[in-house]
Amino acid sequence: MLIIFKKIIYIFLIFGVNLYFCSYIVNKISSRSELRRGFVMSRGGGLAYPFVKMLRYLSKDYRLNIWELLLLFFSIFIWTIIPFSQSLIILKFDFDLIIAIMFYILIIFINLVIASRSSYSFNYSNFTKKTAMVFTFFTPLLFCTSSLVLINRTLSLREIVNFQYQNPNIIYQPLGFIVVFTSIFMQFKLLGLTNRNTLLFSEDTEKEGAGIGRFIVIISYYSIVFFLIVLIVIFYLSGWQPIKFVNGYVTFGVKFYIIFFILILIDKATPKLNDYNYIVSMNFKFLFPFSAVNFLLTLIFFILRNVYNLI
């Protein structure tokens, strides 16, 4: 029981610290880029910014609803499924990949419900439309995940990392890595963490009157981004496998922040991609066909190697 309690503290501490510093990094880079484009800086700087922002939301008079409580619960609970090392995991399953993806979909679903609600009614047409849109962005990621499952022959995230003790999966699945990274970047754009307005989940992300409810939604956005980055590190970059004499925890953290920095820098360097229709067009014209081709090639290779023993 004491060991489990220590793991819970470690994992939630990791999530909290990364949430704080990543929000600080997003604010810092966004403020600098806005100044360079001639805008007046509207976001406070300094290392204390995330804490000040949190207090600003908590100071508002706001009553939480059941959906926001569920969103907070699942945004945190998903990290009990994700392994940070071979032993640093709270809930162990042989098919934790499926469970993690289900929680990821559930977090997005609850966000869509919250975005479609108002004080007076629920916009079913808006909810249905946005749900269909999200599914189109999730499909390429699902294709590439299926390709990795075929190669590694497992649904366990820990075993996927163990499979990469010699070579990372990016060597075997370079096209899949490109598709997954691009898909994550597009979802990063949709969440709009570096902008004032998201493209999909909400029409106004800076409603100061939303109070703690808005704060919970922001936590869920970061949880989604963190989950996707951790997924790409585990899938293609050998997760916590040590590099020579460098500790596995250190390599995992370095890979995580490299991906995070690249996402932010590309996001700020491509302001024209903030148009939702353009992102949808890229998804259908690039991600869909390339992810399907990658899965088809992987399936053919799998059959030739494991059924006919030709490779």
Any domain includes 93: yes
Q: Is residue 130 part of a domain?
A: yes
pLDDT per residue rounded down to tens, the chain (311 residues): 677 778 788 888 888 888 888 888 887 776 665 555 444 444 445 666 666 677 677 767 677 788 889 999 999 999 989 988 888 888 888 889 999 999 999 999 898 888 777 656 677 766 777 777 777 778 899 999 999 999 888 999 999 999 998 889 999 999 999 999 999 998 888 887 776 555 455 544 444 446 788 888 888 999 999 999 999 999 999 999 988 788 888 999 999 999 999 998 888 888 777 677 778 788 888 899 999 999 999 999 889 888 777 76
Does any domain span residue 42?
Answer: no
Q: Which domain holds residue 161?
A: 53-306
Q: Angle at the Cα of 231 (from 178 to 298), degrees rounded to 5?
A: 50
Task: Give dist(CA 141, CA 227) in Å, integer.
Answer: 13
Torsion angle of the four alpha carbons 19, 25, 31, 37, in this order, in degrees rounded to the nearest 10: -130
pLDDT in the model for residue 73: 92
Q: Is 237 part of any domain?
A: yes
pTM of the model: 0.87
Nearest to 189 by CA among 274, 280, 108, 278: 274
Is 271 inside a domain boundary? yes
Split into its structural domains, the chain has a count of 1
Which DSSP category does 40 fall into? P
Tokens 């004491």 correspond to: 2
Query: Left if phi > 0, otherwise alpha if psi is -120 to 50, otherwise beta: which for 121?
Result: beta
